[in-house]
Amino acid sequence: MSTEIVASLNITMPVFFMMMLGVLFRRLGWMTENFARELNRFVFQIPLPASVFMQLYRADFLSVWDLPFVLFCLLVTVAQILIAVVLSLLIRKRELRGEFVQASYRSSTALLGLTYLQQAYNSASASALMMVGCVPLYNVAAVILLNQQEGKGRAVRASLIKSILLNPIIWGILLGFVFTYLHIRLPGIAEKTVSNVGALASPAGLMAMGASIDFRKLGSRAKEILAASGLKLVIFPALFLPLAVRMGYRGEKLMAILIMTGSATTVAGYVMAKQQGCEGEVSAGTVMLTTLLTSVTLTIFIFIMKHLSLL
């Protein structure tokens, strides 16, 4: 087996097996659906922001910050949304369009981005910068797309403001930048505690993702789910990775762009769709299918890029 394949599998397979542990624990009755849902919520609200914060807190702000890279991630996210919006017009049932678009563009950047980059580079600073470019837009676009019914203008604005102000990942990024820029240092005990909490993000989040998979739901809205999953895992990375390479991105930053364009759809998208009164089946099915397949597709992309000496 070639060294490129081994290196690719060393990055993706530990993530896959952690998710499969969640599937196994669900089958054995050790993790229920409700427990997995609450664990997902807990990871999103506490350990993930703590992990993002610590990555930036420990970094040199001036050496990490890269405005062109952040803007590139922002513009690629805009392009993904616009492509998905155009394709959603082919869906006859209008109330499914917003779900389809969100499921197509919204990656699990926080959980999988941090995990894969730590596996590959023992660092996630590029992932944090990538999230600065895409996560706020993820939330803004989702609120607008999921609230297209007439007479909901005021509700949309209120939900939009709330989604931005209360997003824990955004707060983790902002606080990380503030602490590093102002050279604020935590007491040793507090720093170790926050670090330990952040360390929970990957194992707990990946097992919760696995335990959330319900194979019976994959047949519901199959056409929309397959189309959204194809965009998420294959089409978007195939479109934008060559552009990133042309722009000169390599290594950790190229990996971060791969995660942004080609990783599994985040569970947070399903949660937001349900909160906005949507059916939720397209979101749930796409989360499940992309979660199952992402280790395969990412391994292929990572192998290709390693073979081309881009990673």
* 310 domain-assigned: no
* 311 domain-assigned: no
> End-to-end distance of the chain based on CA atoms, in angstroms?
19
- Which structural domain, as residue segments, surrounds residue 28? 3-305
pTM (predicted TM-score): 0.78
* 82 domain-assigned: yes
Segment 273-296, tens digit of pLDDT: 766 667 777 887 888 888 888 888
- Predicted pLDDT at 61: 61
- Predicted pLDDT at 201: 80
- Predicted pLDDT at 193: 94
- Predicted pLDDT at 151: 47
* 79 domain-assigned: yes
- Predicted pLDDT at 158: 67
Per-chain mean pLDDT for the chain: 82
* 154 domain-assigned: yes
Segment 4-60, tens digit of pLDDT: 677 667 777 777 788 788 889 998 999 888 888 888 788 878 887 888 788 778 766
Supply the CATH number for residue 143's domain: 1.20.1530.20
Segment 187-235, tens digit of pLDDT: 989 999 998 998 888 788 778 877 877 766 666 678 899 999 999 999 9
* 258 domain-assigned: yes
Give me the number of domains the chain comprises. 1
Segment 222-250, tens digit of pLDDT: 889 999 999 999 999 999 999 999 999 99
Residues facing residue 265 across a β-bridge: 107
The DSSP code sequence of 47-113 is HHHHHHHHHHHTS-HHHH--HHHHHHHHHHHHHHHHHHHHHHTT-S-GGGHHHHHHHHH-B-IIIII
- Predicted pLDDT at 87: 95
